[in-house]
Chains A and B, each alone.
Chain A
Amino acid sequence: AQSVAQPEDQVNVAEGNPLTVKCTYSVSGNPYLFWYVQYPNRGLQFLLKYITGDNLVKGSYGFEAEFNKSQTSFHLKKPSALVSDSALYFCAVRDVSDKVIFGPGTSLSVIP
């Protein structure tokens, strides 16, 4: 069965420092992987996706993610965190039936 894991409930990082939000997945076949961000009382906003091609994917707001097939990981990164990046981040995978399965989410706090 397809699944997504985000091992950290909470990530704290100082403003200006690099940030990483971790994601690992389990899927049969080629994975379609996504990152979304959610601000309080709002829906999800798409950040980036990996379908095929370059393992390093660049997305919105300066975020990028690295697809690692051998480690079945798709970690989200940003070189320099902003306070406004504080939000809930979801990793997701699309399964063979076209459903999107979300990870449990990671709350990111960027400390001024």
Chain B
Amino acid sequence: GAVVSQHPSRVICKSGTSVKIECRSLDFQATTMFWYRQFPKKSLMLMATSNEGSKATYEQGVEKDKFLINHASLTLSTLTVTSAHPEDSSFYICSARDLMVLRSGAQHFGDGTRLSIL
């Protein structure tokens, strides 16, 4: 089945550091990938939609200069949390939908990245 690989799975770093998270579709191509943020025991909050070859679309209230998204190929999207602070600590999850599957196809999720800012 379709696999989405997300790396790293866990990051612990100091305040002020920038952190890059990668999301790769391993056996399918995706023009669109999605980035979510999840707080403990809460639902997923869509942060942005990553579009291959163009600018990402950010949800209301999400700072685009804080959360930089790059979707340089049909199999890779990256999220960079710039100058991270403790309030950015969270579980970040990416997902992708197979380009060749109709709109009715399910999204495939990475295993998430646990970001902890000290």
Contact = CB atoms under 8 A, between A and B. Distances in A.
A8 B32 CA distance: 32
Contacts, number: 52
A58 interface: no
Given A41-B114, A98-B32, A107-B41, A46 B106 contact: yes
B15 to A, nearest CB: 23
Interface residues of B, number: 23
Contacts of A99: 34, 46, 49
Interface in A48-78: 49, 51
Given A90-B43, A90-B44, A98-B32, A42 B112 contact: yes
B112 A41 contact: yes
A3 B32 CA distance: 22
Contacts of A105: 41-43
A33 B109 CA distance: 16
Nearest to B93: A43
Interface residues of A, number: 23
Interface in A17-52: 32, 34, 36, 41-46, 49, 51
A102 B109 contact: no
A41 B106 CA distance: 21
A36 B4 CA distance: 15
Interface of A: 32, 34, 36, 41-46, 49, 51, 88, 90, 94, 98-105, 107
